[in-house]
A and B are shown apart, each in its own frame.
Chain A
Amino acid sequence: MENGKHVMVIGGGTMGQGIALVCVLSGYRTTVVDLPAAIPRIRTGVERFLADRVKKGKFSAADVQNVMGLIAIEEDLSAAASADWIIEAIAENFDAKKKLFSDLEKAMKTEATICTNTSSLSVTAMAAGMRNPGCVLGLHFFNPPAVMPLVEIVRTCWTDEATAAKAFEFVQSIRKFPVLVKDTPGFIVNRIARSFAVESLKIVTEGIAAPEQVDRIMRLGGNFKMGPFELMDMVGIDVNFAVTRSIYRAFFEEPRFRPQILQQDLVNAGRLGRKTGRGIYSYETGGKK
């Protein structure tokens, strides 16, 4: 099962864990790196993921052993010395990422690639000032990485064809679908999907239709799998609002991306969606509307 290549994932939150598992399942020896305090939580997370697969009959005991043999959880960056792919999935803090990249640059192999899973920061700004900025690109996974099939490969002005092609093959090798996009705010998906949420919020604000009507219209009239408001409640009103604001600012207040006051009101009210039991809709403890 092992393919001889080594992946290092930095940050063991939901995204980092998911990305690491996706890599392991495709035969990559994978090291997850996080602070000492986070390590027991990551171990539990991986074990729970595997137990769930076994329960669903998708994994045998041998598969579990195989995965456990390929994955390591560590506290320092020493794995950088042998990693072919370094994937950063720490919190969205520009300075922290920049510092991390400069530490990695000293420790990594020259032919390795640093990939950031950022969804809202400039990959270009992260790469700028490095000895070889061409070794940095974006690899934007979607949540949850184990399920979502898409990965956006984000190229900066330094990314050459060979690096992009190598990243394309890497994404295919972990059984995901790659798309190539220039480093621009929101890349493809978060940028174009703004309209689905924000135009719907504007329609509701203007009293043209109620949220449940808009959801029904988009599902039954347009064949969307979920209406915009159901989706916003699932993702989190705060998350959606933060992405909208960040893209709006990044495009220098282009009116197409202008956020809606209704989003801000919901966030101010603590109505953040399913996770707080109430967002656009109210949810009972079972999670049902």
Chain B
Amino acid sequence: MNVALQVALVYGPGAPEGLASFAGKEGVSIWDPARIRAAGFLDPQVGIVFLMVDAGAEEQKAWLQALGRNAEKTAVVALYAPHLSVSELAMAYRYPEQVVGVGFLDQMLSPGSLVEIAPGLRTAVAAVDAVEGFFRERGCETERVKDFSGLVLRRVLFMIINEAAYALWEGIASREDIDLAMKLGTNYPMGPLEWADSIGLDRIYNGLKGLHEEYGDDRYRPCPLIRKMVAAGHTGKRAGIGFYTHHAERGKG
């Protein structure tokens, strides 16, 4: 584990930015996504690149491909929120053995919180250790899980949110009552619809689509209401409107 490893963060459009404040400034640079599309891997000194692209699986592949064009063989790519298996997505990168999947909820990332680490079938042990080391040095707990669309937390949470969206779409209760019921009836830390607004409906839609594609099982089809809202730009807090209206947040992020 190399403590002095240089780290770069790449944010695709709409990606969460909580990792930037969590990572600190020492040895951390933020790469301009537009430059990567044109120039690929920007600095050979960098040991881990965090690819924070929370668009669809095809987008994730495109970014991996761009980054891989001129990457060093030793550089590790931590792929945030893989929408398909890491094994499959990693094949878009020049060195699939260097790609590791990571999963966490952006707004909950802090020392003491837990990060999922998911190696793909080809991933090298050293690459997994490097990514795990990054989070452990910053006080996070980690669990290694098998690589699959959404890993564990996002998969379960997105299924809960999807069901809440179906319940709302079918008009069985109001958004406020759905959220209140889940907080008081079963102790959820947030109501699923307010949680969805804070994560971003576009990201939830991409996650569910990935699961749906991976399994081919209608269990995972995204609620049409989520699709409709994403199409209309009602993606949650960042957009100022999602399941709720967020006046204070409008124009931010």
Q: Which residues of A pack against B, CB within 8 Å?
A: 142, 148-150, 152, 177, 179-182, 184, 187-189, 191-196, 199-200, 203, 206-209, 213-214, 216-226, 228, 255-256, 258
Contact = CB atoms under 8 A, between A and B. Distances in A.
B66 to A, nearest CB: 29
Contacts of A228: 156
Contact of A195 (B104, B156, B218): B156
B217 A255 contact: yes
Contact of B153 (A182, A192, A195, A222): A222
B1 interface: no
A207 B145 CA distance: 9
18 contacts: A149-B184, A177-B184, A180-B174, A181-B181, A191-B163, A193-B160, A193-B185, A195-B163, A199-B159, A208-B148, A213-B143, A214-B156, A218-B156, A220-B112, A220-B114, A224-B188, A225-B187, A256-B162
Q: How large is the interface on B (under 10, 10 to 19, 20 to 34, 35 or more residues)?
A: 35 or more
A192 B160 contact: yes
- For A192, A216, A220, the residue with the greatest tally of chain B CB atoms inside 10 Å of its CB is A192
Interface of B: 103-105, 108, 112-116, 141, 143, 145-146, 148, 151-153, 155-157, 159-160, 162-164, 166-167, 170-174, 177-178, 180-182, 184-190, 192, 217-219
B185 A188 contact: yes
B155 A199 contact: yes
A203 B157 CA distance: 13
Contacts of B186: 189, 193, 196
Given A196-B160, A256-B159, 17 more contacts: A148-B184, A150-B185, A177-B180, A179-B180, A180-B177, A182-B171, A189-B185, A189-B186, A193-B160, A194-B163, A203-B152, A207-B146, A214-B152, A216-B143, A222-B108, A223-B189, A224-B187
Given A191-B167, A206-B148, A220-B114, A226 B153 contact: no
B114 A180 contact: no
B219 A224 contact: no
B178 A188 contact: yes
A209 B152 contact: yes
A184 to B, nearest CB: 5
A114 to B, nearest CB: 22
Contacts of A148: 184-185
